[in-house]
Amino acid sequence: MGCAQSQMAGADSGMKVVNVDKVKSGSKMLPRGAGSARYKLRRCNCCSFSYFALCKTCPRCNDAAPVVRKPIVGGNWKCNPSKVSELKELVANIDACDTSGCDVYVCPSTLHIGIVYKSFKNGAKVAPQNCNYKGCGAYTGEMSADQMVDMGLEWCLIGHSERRGEFGLPTPPESNSLLAMKCKYLLEKGMKVIFAIGEPLPVREKGLKAVMETLIPQLLEIKGMLDPARVVLAYEPVWSIGTGVTASPAQAQETHRAIRQWIAKEVSPSVAAEIRIQYGGSANAKNAPDLSKCPDVDGFLVGGASLKPEIAEIVAAVAKEKCWRDLGNADLFPAAVYEKSGLRKTGAVTWVKA
């Protein structure tokens, strides 16, 4: 039993997700009442059987299903707001996000982290926008992972282009080596990392090959650290950040896919399949639904729109499109549903034709 495993998600995987509403109602794999748009089917790469996208293997031939990555959306408040009195409203915007189908984090300004870090009731995480690489001590103006851990923070954002020298100010840019040191240090301390990468406009204008030639050096020194459970990549084209010019879904998808292919080759296919890659750059409630349709886009890092109520719509858009649900080790439906379809249980969530 079983076919060659296809772990690579995305356009090349052959994964076909179709809306349940379009599938004829007599389908054996659809229990009554399950025909909601929230449930999607995929067609097995191997035997073409249609089954729930949330299942980990094809119930007919046991072929491994492409990995379903939980989407993740972050709000980067940067150096905003200007007044403490405005924080309440911003916290409310994040708190209004439904986190059941999407991880949410927010990056408040350094001065405000201590004020808001216990405020979120929906599970949204607080991620500082920077970290040092040494720990506590004589490091004026810095923040250490030890302090973050002590405060119960789990995530930290590093590598944003505005720290890689895109301030438009003569501040020293953070180099790939420095960011790799920070990443290593954070992971060693038990933190999770959102690692941002991106290319400037003149590079994008030369095409995907040039884009990858810029992105690969940004990834090279952290390739051994790409643990999908603890590192999220944020692809943020510099020309798109704060400009109102969003990458088209085609541009975002081709770049995310190329990043994933590079990781598959340089690290492993399973890391490539599991690691989450956010898109960042003028994402908003209007463009999020279409960008979310890109199979290799796993969410967003949002600047400007994270200061507005529309952040909740962005989270809802990607959650709706990806239909992630925590299956744990449980079957999606009662055993009778599978058995009626002539299936026999052979593993935690594996059912094969009896």
Q: Which stretches of the chain bind ligand PEP, using CB under 6 A?
A: 76, 160, 236, 241-242, 280-283, 301-305
Name which of 78 and 134 has its Cβ closer to ligand PEP. 78
Name which of 76 and 218 has its Cβ closer to ligand PEP. 76
* Residue 142: active-site member: no
Phi, psi of 13 (to 5 degrees): -75, -15
Cα separation of 41 and 19, whole Å?
6
Name the helix (H) or strand (E) containing 322. Answer: helix 311-322
Name which of 50 and 161 has its Cβ closer to ligand PEP. 161
- Active-site hit among 112, 160, 199, 254: 160
The distance of closest approach from Cβ of residue 244 to ligand PEP in the complex, given in angstroms and rounded to an integer, is 8
Cα separation of 299 and 278, whole Å?
5
- What is the DSSP code (8-state) at residue 64? B
Sign of CA dihedral 159, 275, 13, 286: negative
Q: Which amino acid, 186? A: L
* Residue 160: active-site member: yes
On whether the CB atoms of residues 93 and 34 are closer than 8 A, the answer is no
The distance of closest approach from Cβ of residue 117 to ligand PEP in the complex, given in angstroms and rounded to an integer, is 20
The distance of closest approach from Cβ of residue 197 to ligand PEP in the complex, given in angstroms and rounded to an integer, is 12
The distance of closest approach from Cβ of residue 241 to ligand PEP in the complex, given in angstroms and rounded to an integer, is 4
On whether the CB atoms of residues 110 and 143 are closer than 8 A, the answer is yes
Q: Which residue has the tokens 């400007």?
A: 304
Name which of 31 and 200 has its Cβ closer to ligand PEP. 200
Nearest in space to 252 (alpha carbons), one of 239, 264, 266, 243: 239
Cβ-proximal residue to ligand PEP, closest one: 303
The distance of closest approach from Cβ of residue 230 to ligand PEP in the complex, given in angstroms and rounded to an integer, is 20
Contacts of 302 (CB under 8 A, 6+ apart): 73, 74, 75, 76, 280, 283, 284, 311, 314
Name which of 101 and 304 has its Cβ closer to ligand PEP. 304
- Active-site hit among 162, 174, 199, 236: 236
Active-site amino acid positions:
160, 236
